[in-house]
Structure 1
């Protein structure tokens, strides 16, 4: 099964083109991009950034095919956070939570996320996906902090 391919530029995603045609993605990159960079609804115990009371979330989560199934990540909650070890821990936790469905749905045997700050203002997420057949796929995303 193929998805429409997305390309990521540090700020957001766009559809990938091949000339005048849309590219397809037979791998996991597009699924991971949607999982990480779509806004999951904040939990009631999450502290929202700024003075907003908007808990965000994807509208279709109100009608899940599987009870409790949510799209996206809570990375957006970190948009006003300082680049501290605790923030990096939460970034890793939020990214891992967003990708856990890959294991639950049997697409991967294991998914491991690491987070780092390679330079000021950039959050780096490294995602290692171990497929059920033993193959490993590695992805890396450099996220500009203000675009979280």
Structure 2
């Protein structure tokens, strides 16, 4: 059982509450939030000397914990025709641990496929993430929107 997360301001996730009580959430969604929105440590060759490589302290607590993603490296970049492909790769890499995990909430994830595209809104990348689970014919689908102009992002499950 996991505590649910909410992102009402679209600038950061926090524990979801219903009045004064914490809300119980979906463990797979919690793992997805950690995988996508936790800053992974940048490889030395991708950042300038003296720039904080970030990374999350909790990543070292478990071998199958999400490392996070490198989406943060793209925050200040201009959206080029190549960026949707890079976002696709980054999303899939961040979720790879779910495929490798054989226990817990990710144990049934068999494949993760992302599709990213430049939005009609200037400065925005939109992506769809499909998590295929063993024993089900339809994947769990998620919409991810990142707006570089405002720094806001949204993750929602598509019904």
Q: TM-score, normalised by structure 1?
A: 0.84
The answer as to whether partners of 1:11 and 1:144 remain within 8 angstroms in 2 is: no
Shift in Å at residue 100 of structure 1? 0.7
User: Quick one: structure 1 residues 85 and 93, their matched pair in 2 at CA, closer, same or farther if it must change by over 3 Å?
Assistant: same
Q: Does 1:46 align with 2:42?
A: no
How far is 1:26 from its partner?
Answer: 2.4
Q: SS state of the match for residue 142, structure 1?
A: strand
Per the alignment, residue 6 of structure 1 pairs with 5
1:23 is aligned to 23
Deviations 1:44-67 (A, max 9, x none): 22135xx85110001233x34328
Instruction: Could you tell me which runs of 5 or more consecutive residues in structure 1 were left unpaired when the two chains were aligned.
Output: none
Structure 1 runs of 4+ aligned residues shifted over 6 Å read: none
Deviates more, 1:77-86 or 1:5-14: 5-14
Does residue 98 in structure 1 map to residue 97 in structure 2?
no
Give 2:80's aligned residue.
Answer: 84
Gap runs ≥5 in structure 2: 102-106, 153-159
Count of residue correspondences: 143
**How far apart are 1:28 and its partner, in Å?**
2.0
